[in-house]
Structure 1
Amino acid sequence: MVEITRRNLFGAVGIGAGSLALGTTAGCSDSSPTGGAGGDYELPTYQAAPELTIEPAHVTETEGMENIYTDTVKEYFKSVDREPGSGGTVTSFQLTWGDPSTKREDNPYWQELEKRVGVTWEPTFVPQPVYDEKFSTMLAGGDIPDLVFVNDQSAIELQAIQDGAFADLSEVLSGDNILKWPNLAARKEEIWKASLKDGRIYQIPSPAWALTNLPIMRTDLIDQTSIGRTPQNADEMLTMLKEVTALGSGPGDQKLYGVNQYDPINNPLWKRMFRVGSDWQLDDSGKLIHAIETPQYKEMLTWLAAAWAEGVFDPNSMTATPADIVSGSALTWRAVTDTFMTPDGLMLMEKDLPGATWDYFDVPGYDGEGQLVVRNIPYGKSTCVGFQVAEDEDRLTEVLNVLDYFCAPYGSEEQLFLGYGVEGEYFEFNEFGIPVLDPEKAPDMGVQNVGVTSGDNSYRGHPNQAPWVESFTAVMESMAEHSIARDLEGLESQSQTFVSKGAQLVASWDDFDRGVVSGRESVDDLESFIGEYMAAGGEKIRAEYTEALGK
């Protein structure tokens, strides 16, 4: 293993050095987990978390889909069977989306947490808007906390992994070694594989749904069209959208459009309909091409520009300020967590606009042959261990013990405490058996956000969403049946050009896409744009990803 000292690590970080990652040799790596440049190891053994004590409403065998639950766990299992820690201190650097938690001396939850894990817990809280900035400052300061919340889709945070800021955990977690930490072990092989860097384990990744977002429809509007709720192709979709727009207004005298928001980066509905596929993909000859080079992308732009010209879009649909959009729409893009897994969701939307009705929408293929859904990478944000922790085996074990506790899965006693505190003091169970946090105690929570989830990753619908279980299930199953994995899954970080220039390239693509759809530019300019995109870094990205695929 390459020895990394604090001096050479932070000298490298400071000058943006290339590969100084623990266990690797610059410019020489093998992405196979059994033959990497840092030595042989096995992917961590998968050990499922204990089964939930409730029956699923839907069991799936479709790749990319998860089981669906509508009942709530009422009997909790114990996920950690070990003595608390030695009483030492464990530090963290973690993201917070709100105000920092109440200080320890005034925070009974924090104090109880320390008793349960057996260490003094010293987190550093960083607000999301300045996380990368503070992350860089933390690195430059030369003192890496024991546990660090990392988003490897961030260029700065990815570079820190590549520069050796974090411990190589490959051998420590290899094979059955991971079974010392059952909650770390409760993540499947594909999750580890997708998160490897140079074929090595530097991060504990959180499982992520392959499918997280889907369209919902205004059935009160669509039912008035000649097409109805199930258009079969792009022509029928356009007719449906035009006829909704022609209604003029709906419940509450709300102005209506077929589409009231257009966001080509965050809403892939139209890419799904035209089967555009992932941003980088292999063509039939095995060559890596970008989505903008596919005939489907050009056909999609042509159709969208025609729909805009027909008046289907709200003129404000491309605004960056959501408050500017006050019209109703035939279709809306929503997250599963905002609709199916919340007590509000579609139920509240109907309550807020009397006369409006909502349901889930199954996107057709533009030619009647079905849509194409690109699945998410199978992991989300991660936690890394500071490189210096690995210098002491006992300390590394204790830090991983703490992280294992924080990774307790849904249905466990530990997860219930981590999320809601102590019953009667911090939360009560409601009529559905769901823990409800006392809002006055909420400021105490969040001291353990460095943890990442594990275990069961089903879609757990709120009982209030019971009327939509059948349609939600049908649409999600259809999406999964028409879904594919990314050709570059697990290799996204292998292009340094994308790490450094990806954001600018994506912004230029977004601007061109919007320009064509709104009539500011012409679809005839696509070839010229492709040339500019490739010259600005796209061609170099292609070469780097092609090399990574070859390895």
Structure 2
Amino acid sequence: MTLNSAPSGPSRRSFLASTAVTAVAVAGGMPLLTACGGSDSGSREGATSGKAAEKLLPAYVASKFAKPDIPAKNGSADGYTGKIDLAALTASVPGKLGTDAPLTIMSPLWGSPPKGDCAYYKALDAAAGTKITWQNQDGNTYAQKLGAVLASSSIPDMVVVPQWIMNGGKIANAVTAKFMDLGPYLQGDKVKKYANLAAIPSDAWRMGIFGGALRGIPMSVAPATFIVPYYRKDIFDKKGYTVPKSADEFLSWAKDATSAKAKVWACGDMSWIGGNIFPNAPGWNIDPDGKLRFSKERPEYLEGLEWIRKLFAAGVVHPDDKARTGDPGQRFASGQILVFESDMSAWYNQAAEQAKANPDFQIEAMDLFGAHGGNPTIWATSPANIWSVIRKGASKETVENALAAANFAAAPYGTKERMFVDYGVQGTHYTVKDGVPVKTDKGNTEVINAWQMLATPAPYLAHPDLPEVARKQVEYQQRMGAFLKKTSTYGMTIVEPTRYATLSSQFEQLEIDFVRGNKKLSDVQQAISTWKSSGGDKLRDWYKELLDKNGSDN
């Protein structure tokens, strides 16, 4: 990590590798809608929006630190492209908010977890006034672990919960059942005790409403944060390739660029990009014809799958991507594939890793395009997709120490706390070279993503060692952000009835098999029909009632 924004997806790819969630032993909610402000005794299903949601939110007080070089636009993050004066960093909050009371936190973590008494954890505890025992879990299997913990009677004081493992309402229902309403601590002006939490955008906080109460402290995300198709610009320039601008152009280029004999393939698995090239709204959306549809029901869904299938059938996808083994990023860096899809963080990670190893290496983001050319339709990312929650029954002191930790983690760019979270202790975890912080070996093993999962500031991008990458990232978001659209359920955390929890579970493996030629189109069509008859049509009625009562952002 550099001194940059909240990770927009070091997590999602890893979580998607393991989507099965252990059944959570909580009572299923009644089929009622939380269309207005609720309480812990209210329904666990539905959503809260509009004026009812506004009443539950913390007051917003913008941060006064570090003015961005590239202000946010079109849903982008703020961008910082200059070096930061490390000697001039100031504290975002004077004094410690924590009381050094013990606190246990469960969080996903990628890589080898540092020791519980490591220098990084000790330093941050001392600075924040906390005493955290980290129960770090492997991010690749966090879904199963979280389900098992929530089904048990032993829940840590604070737990990190990602949106994409909600599993049709099971985890979301557990959040309502087992984690507390933070309104008494954060609602309205009460949040001003925690200045960094107050500076988190209201849209992100709104996503933390579960069961009619504010329960989740958010990791905020810029709406123009999405999976990106990256390409090797150095190789494109050398070969004279033109960047494709339609689905057919991409396939034609891919055939020309692939040479199995030379061990060069055009691309990795491009399945995540298909939904933007063939613009299929994620989840439920009221379409232009006024009808409410699920993503699997639209013709664009099958069109996108069939295009991905053509890529596999043409042999332009690397064999290891077809087999779903190894790391596409490494294949991209070595030149075995010329295009791969990943989150926004890959831009910096690839550039930084190759800066010395391969000075000619150039990574760029390919502008998204419509299936037949022209402008794309890009669906805005949820304002938050990870939350930290505090267990019901926690003491007042435990809650306040958990909030102190989250407030420290949410420190904005240009503060001492942000530097602490991202880099640790100077001399131990990083050194300064030419005014730029550089992690030591100890920094690389200890300063990893646990603290950053508790909360994040308003979205920003900054890489002091590679400022040009930050500029390109923000400019790409702003360029593509001009084509953003919001779904009908944008900005709402919706808790579906648990009876529909496994309704869509068949599709992930079926899609993997279909694009690789192992299933037929009729198999996918049959799955859609089965989805409808097994509860999809009833779930549509449930969503229609929810949107009728809550309104839509579309």
1:235 counterpart letter in structure 2: D
Distance in 1 (alpha carbons) for counterparts of 2:447 and 2:233: 40
CA 1:32 to 1:493, structure 2 compared with 1: closer, same or farther past 3 Å? closer
Q: Give the aligned partner of residue 367 of structure 1.
A: 372
CA contact (8 A) 1:491 1:548 kept: no
Structure 1 residue corresponding to 2:437, chosen from 424, 435, 438:
435
Q: Give the aligned partner of residue 347 of structure 2.
A: 339
| Aligned-pair CA distance for 1:69 | 2.3
CA offsets, 1:351-376, max 9 Å, x none?
Answer: 4xx6x754321122122331122222
1:534 counterpart letter in structure 2: K
CA 1:135 to 1:270, structure 2 compared with 1: closer, same or farther past 3 Å? closer
Structure 2 residue corresponding to 1:240, chosen from 240, 253, 275:
253
Provide the alpha-carbon RMSD of the alignment: 3.7
| Aligned-pair CA distance for 1:321 | 0.6
Matched, 1:31 2:24: no
What secondary structure is seen at the aligned counterpart in 1 of 2:185?
Answer: coil
CA 1:380 to 1:73, structure 2 compared with 1: closer, same or farther past 3 Å? farther
Matched, 1:328 2:342: no
Distance in 2 (alpha carbons) for counterparts of 1:33 and 1:461: 37
CA 1:481 to 1:110, structure 2 compared with 1: closer, same or farther past 3 Å? closer
CA offsets, 1:295-331, max 9 Å, x none?
Answer: 3334334444455555444455421113697873442
Q: Report which of the two structures shows the higher radius of gyration computed on alpha carbons.
A: 1
The 10-residue stretch of structure 1 (174-183 or 437-446) with the greater mean CA deviation from structure 2: 437-446
| Aligned-pair CA distance for 1:412 | 1.4
Q: TM-score, normalised by structure 1?
A: 0.79
| Aligned-pair CA distance for 1:278 | 1.9
Q: Give the aligned partner of residue 462 of structure 2.
A: 460
| Aligned-pair CA distance for 1:405 | 2.4
Distance in 2 (alpha carbons) for counterparts of 1:435 and 1:225: 37
Structure 1: runs of 5+ lacking an equivalent:
1-11
| Aligned-pair CA distance for 1:333 | 1.3
CA contact (8 A) 2:101 2:398 kept: no
What secondary structure is seen at the aligned counterpart in 2 of 1:549?
Answer: helix
Distance in 2 (alpha carbons) for counterparts of 1:503 and 1:523: 17
Structure 2: runs of 5+ lacking an equivalent:
1-22, 550-554
Structure 2 residue corresponding to 1:548, chosen from 542, 546, 549:
546
What secondary structure is seen at the aligned counterpart in 1 of 2:222?
Answer: coil
CA 1:118 to 1:17, structure 2 compared with 1: closer, same or farther past 3 Å? same
| Aligned-pair CA distance for 1:274 | 2.1
What secondary structure is seen at the aligned counterpart in 2 of 1:318?
Answer: helix
| Aligned-pair CA distance for 1:460 | 1.7
What secondary structure is seen at the aligned counterpart in 1 of 2:108?
Answer: strand
| Aligned-pair CA distance for 1:254 | 3.5
Q: Give the aligned partner of residue 108 of structure 2.
A: 95
2:418 counterpart letter in structure 1: Q
Q: Give the aligned partner of residue 165 of structure 2.
A: 154
Q: How does 1:65-84 map to 2 (within 5 A)?
A: 65-74=76-85, 75-84=88-97
CA contact (8 A) 2:162 2:387 kept: yes
Q: Give the aligned partner of residue 413 of structure 1.
A: 416
Distance in 2 (alpha carbons) for counterparts of 1:230 and 1:133: 41
CA offsets, 1:406-443, max 9 Å, x none?
Answer: 33233211222233333223321222x33233323655
Distance in 2 (alpha carbons) for counterparts of 1:309 and 1:189: 46
Q: Give the aligned partner of residue 500 of structure 1.
A: 501
Q: Give the aligned partner of residue 4 of structure 2.
A: none
Distance in 2 (alpha carbons) for counterparts of 1:401 and 1:262: 42
Distance in 1 (alpha carbons) for counterparts of 2:534 and 2:457: 42
Structure 1 residue corresponding to 2:55, chosen from 8, 20, 41:
41
CA contact (8 A) 1:341 1:461 kept: no
Distance in 2 (alpha carbons) for counterparts of 1:456 and 1:30: 24
Distance in 2 (alpha carbons) for counterparts of 1:271 and 1:302: 12
Distance in 2 (alpha carbons) for counterparts of 1:282 and 1:205: 27
Identity of aligned residues (%): 21
CA 1:409 to 1:451, structure 2 compared with 1: closer, same or farther past 3 Å? farther
Q: How does 1:91-170 map to 2 (within 5 A)?
A: 91-104=104-117, 107-129=118-140, 131-136=142-147, 138-139=149-150, 142-155=153-166, 157-163=171-177, 165-170=178-183
Matched, 1:378 2:383: yes
| Aligned-pair CA distance for 1:196 | 1.6
Q: TM-score, normalised by structure 2?
A: 0.79
Q: Give the aligned partner of residue 292 of structure 1.
A: 296
CA 1:115 to 1:194, structure 2 compared with 1: closer, same or farther past 3 Å? closer
CA contact (8 A) 1:204 1:452 kept: yes
What secondary structure is seen at the aligned counterpart in 1 of 2:213?
Answer: coil
Q: Give the aligned partner of residue 4 of structure 1.
A: none
Distance in 1 (alpha carbons) for counterparts of 2:152 and 2:44: 28
Q: How many aligned positions are there?
A: 511
CA offsets, 1:30-89, max 9 Å, x none?
Answer: 7246447xxx93421111222316x52x34421x21233222322322111245544433
Distance in 1 (alpha carbons) for counterparts of 2:131 and 2:348: 38
CA offsets, 1:63-118, max 9 Å, x none?
Answer: x21233222322322111245544433333333334443343xx454444443333
CA offsets, 1:452-490, max 9 Å, x none?
Answer: 333242222454463x67765554333211122232234
What secondary structure is seen at the aligned counterpart in 1 of 2:280?
Answer: coil
1:51 counterpart letter in structure 2: F
| Aligned-pair CA distance for 1:531 | 0.6
CA offsets, 1:249-292, max 9 Å, x none?
Answer: 7xxx7433333x2252xx2x222122223243222233221233
1:291 counterpart letter in structure 2: S
Higher relative contact order (CA 8 A, sep 6+): 2
The 10-residue stretch of structure 1 (449-458 or 18-27) with the greater mean CA deviation from structure 2: 18-27
